[in-house]
């Protein structure tokens, strides 16, 4: 069939391209294994309709492979990082190649944002698990991407604080640090990496830090920069947040924000331009506040979606 011949050609081309690029031997063996497996599965298909049908077992298999990716990255950070550029280029070359790459075990699901390394510690009742993401690019070294340095610096602060507490208490007492990440938004212009951190000592505290990265420059874009340092626009967004706070408190007495209170010095007065933000799937600006920042602890980290009538179309 013509479709199968085309896929056969692509698989052969994929194999040839791989063999001409130096990568770690362990990664090479796994990549070739995936190519042979994908080839065998495609040759075994007899009906075109089956090509677009995902059996439940296939979904489970795909999820299992993605889980293996995380484990592989933790064990072989340097080796996996060396293969990122090669696999990213090939996976994005065509939908058919991307489908074939899904069949590559362990390293097949490496994306442009990966867990570069994981800091782990366990001493007495002190424990820490900090995942540190990294943006990869086929065009330049990850070390030259400015946002990676910002992310590393943020993770280092969390780790340094943990280690300082550990040293000061000689491992006595309780301290738990858990920091994970996910890509909360991505389009042709931006990629937003959200880092969720929970610190538990006498009580717990949740914080959210989002790195919004300009794909053209590789730089982190602050809220202030996103709004072009327009103080009027920053004030308009702040006022909209206040309106939402008041509306929520009026509708539900269990909702409380630090606004219009009897302690005005602690009230939310407006944005500084350094707050975390991201875009939702509709492209709307979402402002994120840490626990205790604008509300009591029981409210957790809170978010406010800003209508485009106020902010304009910032994600485009």
SS3 state at 124: coil
Place of tokens 């610096």: 153
Three-state helix/strand/coil letters over 125-179: CEEEEEEEEEECCCCCCHHHCHHHHHHHHHHHHHHHHHHHHHHHHCCCCCEEEEE
Rounded Cα distance, 6 and 23, in Å: 27
To which CATH superfamily is domain 224-311 assigned?
A: Heat-shock cognate protein, ATPase (3.90.640.20)
Question: What angle, rounded to 10 degrees, do the helices at 77-91 and 2-19 form?
Answer: 140
Rounded Cα distance, 108 and 130, in Å: 24
What digits encode the pLDDT tens for the residues 103-147?
332 222 233 788 889 999 999 889 999 999 999 877 667 778 899
User: What region does 114 belong to: left with phi over 0, alpha with psi -120 to 50, or beta?
Assistant: beta
What digits encode the pLDDT tens for the residues 48-60?
444 444 444 444 4
Contacts (Cβ under 8 Å, ≥6 apart) of 220: 146, 147, 150, 211, 212, 213, 214
Confidence band for 25, pLDDT divided at 50, 70 and 90 = low
SS3 state at 143: helix
SS3 state at 122: strand
Predicted local distance difference test score (pLDDT) of residue 140: 66
Intervals of CATH 3.90.640.20 along the chain: 224-311
What digits encode the pLDDT tens for the residues 157-176?
999 999 999 999 877 888 99
State the average pLDDT for the chain: 76
Across 51-77, b (16+ Cβ under 10 Å) vs e yields eeeeeeeeeeeeeebeeebeebbeebb
Please compute the mean of the pLDDT values over residues 8-25 and round it to a whole number.
53
Predicted local distance difference test score (pLDDT) of residue 201: 84
Rounded Cα distance, 40 and 59, in Å: 18
**pTM for this predicted structure:** 0.64
DSSP element (H, E) containing 78: helix 77-91
Contact (CB, 8 A) for 209 and 131: no
Q: Which of these ranges, 23-37, 148-162, 203-217, 253-267, has the smallest mean pLDDT?
A: 23-37
Rounded Cα distance, 124 and 107, in Å: 34
Looking at the DSSP bridge assignments, the partners of residue 198 are 178, 206
Rounded Cα distance, 73 and 181, in Å: 14
Question: Yes or no: is domain 113-220 CATH 3.30.565.40?
Answer: yes
210 pLDDT exceeds 50? Answer: yes
Intervals of CATH 3.30.565.40 along the chain: 113-220
Tokens of 95: 């939908």
Predicted local distance difference test score (pLDDT) of residue 172: 80
Predicted local distance difference test score (pLDDT) of residue 37: 58
Confidence band for 45, pLDDT divided at 50, 70 and 90 = very low
DSSP conformation letters of 4-72: HHHHHHHHHHHHHHHHTS---HHHHHHHHHHHHHHHHHHHT---GGGGG---HHHHHHHHHHHHHHHHH
DSSP element (H, E) containing 190: strand 190-200
Confidence band for 7, pLDDT divided at 50, 70 and 90 = very low
End-to-end alpha carbon distance in the chain: 42
Rounded Cα distance, 79 and 59, in Å: 27
Rounded Cα distance, 194 and 141, in Å: 22
Confidence band for 247, pLDDT divided at 50, 70 and 90 = very high
């Amino acid at each position: 069939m013509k479709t199968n011949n085309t896929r056969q050609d692509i698989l052969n081309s994929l194999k040839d391209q791989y063999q001409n690029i130096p990568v770690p031997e362990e990664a090479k063996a796994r990549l070739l294994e995936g190519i042979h497996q994908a080839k065998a599965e495609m040759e075994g298909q007899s009906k075109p309709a089956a090509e677009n049908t995902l059996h439940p077992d296939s979904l489970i298999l795909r999820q299992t492979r993605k889980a293996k990716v995380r484990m592989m990255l933790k064990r072989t950070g340097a080796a996996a990082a060396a293969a990122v550029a090669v696999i990213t280029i090939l996976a994005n070359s065509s939908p058919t190649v991307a489908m074939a790459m899904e069949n590559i075990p362990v390293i097949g699901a490496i994306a442009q944002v990966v867990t570069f390394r994981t800091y782990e510690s366990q001493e007495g009742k002190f424990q820490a698990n900090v995942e540190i993401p990294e943006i990869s690019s086929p065009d330049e070294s990850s070390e030259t991407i400015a946002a990676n340095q910002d992310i590393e610096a943020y993770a280092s602060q969390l780790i340094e604080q943990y280690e300082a507490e550990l040293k000061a208490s000689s491992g006595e007492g309780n301290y738990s640090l858990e920091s994970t990440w996910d890509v909360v938004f991505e389009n042709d212009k931006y990629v937003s990496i959200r880092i969720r951190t929970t610190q538990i000592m006498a009580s717990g505290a949740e914080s959210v830090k989002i790195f919004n990265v300009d794909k053209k420059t590789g730089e982190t874009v602050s809220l202030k920069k996103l709004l072009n340092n327009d103080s009027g626009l920053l004030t308009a967004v702040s006022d909209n947040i206040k309106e939402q706070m008041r509306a929520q408190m009026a509708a539900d007495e269990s909702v409380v924000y630090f606004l219009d209170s009897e302690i005005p010095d602690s009230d939310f007065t407006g944005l500084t331009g350094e707050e975390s933000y991201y875009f939702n799937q509709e492209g709307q600006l979402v402002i994120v506040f840490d626990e205790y920042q604008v509300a009591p602890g029981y409210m957790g980290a809170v978010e406010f979606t800003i209508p485009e009538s106020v902010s304009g179309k910032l994600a485009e």
